[in-house]
Structure 1
Amino acid sequence: MPQPSARPTRRTQRERREASIEKLVDAAIETIQEDGYYRTTVAAISERAGLSGGGLFRHFDSRLALISRVAEEVSDRILDAYAASKDHLRAQPAPLRAGLGFLAQAVASPLVAVWHELMVAARTDEELRELIAPAIAKFYEGILEHTRANGLLDDVPEESRELALFSMVHMFSGAALTGSVYPRPDLDDKRIPLAEYYTLHTPIL
């Protein structure tokens, strides 16, 4: 005799709220990636998320409040990917070069393109700059912490590690941003050994 099917479990109000927030954050990230920061309007985010325009304001006080959450989420996702790669990087014959290669790939990802959009906009938008500042600090501090924990900079003097790492991140990030307009794939592979050389020869400060 067939058993009656179980009724689907109803989600709690908290679960529904969290699901809606996740949809909005994902929709905002995707819209910034595809259309740029200034075209990421409340209407565009809501439409992509499948929610009403008013639905966004049930979870966030303003569009900028959502953007602040987006900045934090982007930082978390990049750092999670970096942390997940640690065993693979340390197992490489040249872990520093492997780590630099990972950074080069990471900053060319669509997620970092979101950061580029936010930082360019924040240059002339003081309110946005203040909102995303904690997330960008978390991003850089997290990269430094993971890199130290992985031992990728063990050959660099301790007092120069932060300078060396951030300089390399800035170089790769700048190359990715410029490359979206003026691509130079012939230089991409050569940039890794150059970065390795300058990382190892960062002066002691």
Structure 2
Amino acid sequence: MAATPTSRRRTQAQRSAATREALLDATLACLVEDGFSRTTTTRVCERAGLSRGAHLHHFRTRNALVAAAIGHLAERRSEELLAAAEELPAGRERLAQGLDLVWSSYANPLFQAALDLWTQARTDADLRELLVEVERQLDRQTLELARRLFPDLAPRPDFDRLVEMSIATIRGLALLDTLHPGGARNRKQWTDCRARLVALFEAEPAPGGRELDIR
């Protein structure tokens, strides 16, 4: 039976959502390949195959567009990592493999693109204000992911502090890709850092644990 015109035609809301996603995906691709300074709204629209009017309908400024793109990336990252967490084995191997999973979400070109925005925001108050909420979103996702990855360890009084230190370590090593693209140097150091983090998670809880500040 042939499809009716109604079944073939997308709704306005569906078309709008598709346009928005195309803009965000094109923005991420431009940020990875060209960096923030060369990611103009014109380049993004050309890459997405959309008119400039489509961009202005969804995002009034470039800062709003790139901040939304990083938020879009954070949501996608959270979904992918939570799904991958379900496939991890139980037992002692889960800790190291869970840390590897978090590491993989930072040791990639998309993190370098996000880092470019964070650097720009240091002297751009408007962009900084937009990215603050994205950062809070990332912190909330990280804590949720950690509790799903390591449910047996989550009750520890110092669990949040260990998560915070693990993320700081991972981000610090990922910075090496800025001047040494390819990841060989930071992957080598990650092996040792991961072993030390595993040892800390397996040790007796330290006193004075606290929750991450994600307000």
* TM-score of the superposed pair, with normalisation by structure 2: 0.82
Superposed CA RMSD: 2.4
Equivalents in 1 of 2:97, 2:188: separation in Å?
A: 19
CA deviation after TM superposition for structure 1 residue 5, in Å: 7.7
Equivalents in 2 of 1:163, 1:22: separation in Å?
A: 35
- Aligned partner of 2:23 in structure 1 is 24
- Aligned partner of 2:93 in structure 1 is 94
Contact 1:79 1:142 survives alignment (8 Å):
yes
- Aligned partner of 1:55 in structure 2 is 54
Query: Do structure 1's residue 203 and structure 2's residue 206 form an aligned pair?
Result: yes
Contact 1:95 1:152 survives alignment (8 Å):
no
Contact 1:29 1:70 survives alignment (8 Å):
yes
Contact 2:27 2:44 survives alignment (8 Å):
yes
> Unaligned stretches of 5+ in structure 2?
209-215
Range with bigger deviation, 25-34 or 119-128: 119-128
CA deviation after TM superposition for structure 1 residue 32, in Å: 0.6
Equivalents in 2 of 1:79, 1:149: separation in Å?
A: 12
Q: What SS does structure 1 have at the residue aligned with 2:157? A: helix
Query: Do structure 1's residue 173 and structure 2's residue 176 form an aligned pair?
Result: no
Equivalents in 2 of 1:17, 1:157: separation in Å?
A: 43
- Aligned partner of 2:213 in structure 1 is none
Contact 1:153 1:161 survives alignment (8 Å):
no
Contact 2:26 2:48 survives alignment (8 Å):
yes
Contact 2:27 2:69 survives alignment (8 Å):
yes
Equivalents in 2 of 1:123, 1:5: separation in Å?
A: 53
> Unaligned stretches of 5+ in structure 1?
none
CA deviation after TM superposition for structure 1 residue 203, in Å: 3.4
- Aligned partner of 1:190 in structure 2 is 192
Count of equivalent residues: 202
Q: Give runs of aligned pairs for residues 1-205 of structure 1, distance below 5 A.
A: 9-91=8-90, 93-152=92-151, 154=153, 158-182=156-180, 184=185, 185-201=187-203, 203-205=206-208
Deviations 1:126-168 (A, max 9, x none): 21111011121111111112212333561x7733211211211
Equivalents in 1 of 2:111, 2:150: separation in Å?
A: 24
CA deviation after TM superposition for structure 1 residue 43, in Å: 1.1
Deviations 1:25-74 (A, max 9, x none): 00001111111112111111111111122321022122222122112111
- The percentage of aligned residue pairs carrying the same residue is 27
CA deviation after TM superposition for structure 1 residue 110, in Å: 3.0
CA deviation after TM superposition for structure 1 residue 115, in Å: 2.2
Amino acid at match of 1:197: A
The change in CA–CA distance for 1:115 and 1:49 in structure 2 (over 3 A counts) is same
Equivalents in 2 of 1:113, 1:152: separation in Å?
A: 30
The change in CA–CA distance for 1:203 and 1:93 in structure 2 (over 3 A counts) is closer
The change in CA–CA distance for 1:60 and 1:99 in structure 2 (over 3 A counts) is same
